[in-house]
Amino acid sequence: MNASPPPTPPTGLRARKKAQTRRTIQEQALKLFLSQGYENTTVEEIAAAAGVSHMTFFRHFPTKEAVVETDDYDPLIVQLIQERPPDEDPLTALRRALAQGLEAVYATDRDALLVRTRLVLRTPALRARVWENQYATEQLFAQALSVRQPEADPLRTRVLAAATLAALTTALTVWVESDGTEDLPTLVDQAFQALHG
């Protein structure tokens, strides 16, 4: 299966500059979190490392937590779910869309994904927000499934979206526990095999 490219880069000089600034802030934040710990790192230190003001930081990320939590993966996965054939069963559509999206993300952002996931799992302030973030992602996945099959039972659609996220989260947790030595796409595939049972 060929991976779809990551989301289309922003067009126009201003949009590209904004995206680059955001990426630089995130990269510098992750470096600081790794070297001195999440709790010991301030927004001012992140801004200074990224070469921006703290006000610029807040234009891109509303909180320090957001610099770890924010990514462009959900819109990519939603697009891939909606592009799956309408006659494909929902669980298979979710599995294949996630596999395709993960292949693209894993090829370009593997290390950043590992660092971010490790931070979320090991930092109480971030771990406490996981449910809220997963609920938002679950809703996006359920909506994408509904676009494919509007006649489907809404409860079943939400359960499938939630189960998919549980499988993905478990695979990510095992991956982090292995310090990234396990192959994440293989772990995700095994998690889906467990769901198919």
Distance, in Å, from the CA atom of 164 to the CA atom of 157, rounded to the nearest integer, reads 11
pLDDT digits (tens, 9 = 90+) for 143-168: 999 999 899 899 999 999 999 999 99
If one counts every other C-beta atom within 10 angstroms of the C-beta of residue 29, the result is: 27
CA atoms within 13 A on the CB side of 11: 1
Q: Concatenated DSSP letters for 101-149?
A: HHHHHHHHHHHHHHHHHHHHHH-HHHHTTHHHHHHHHHHHHHHHHHHH-
pLDDT of residue 1: 37
- The DSSP output letter for 182 is S
Output the CA torsion sign for 149, 189, 6, 115: positive
Residue type at 4? S
| For residue 5, pLDDT beyond 70 | no
Asked whether the beta carbons of 111 and 184 are under 8 A apart, the reply is no
Amino acid 143: pLDDT = 94
Confidence of residue 84 (pLDDT cuts 50, 70, 90): very high
Average pLDDT over residues 51-64: 94
Q: What is the pLDDT of residues 94-138, one digit of tens each?
A: 999 999 998 888 888 898 889 889 988 888 888 878 888 888 899
Q: How many CB atoms lie within 10 A of CB 70?
A: 16
- Side chain identity at residue 134, one-letter code: Q
Residue 80 confidence (pLDDT) above 90: yes
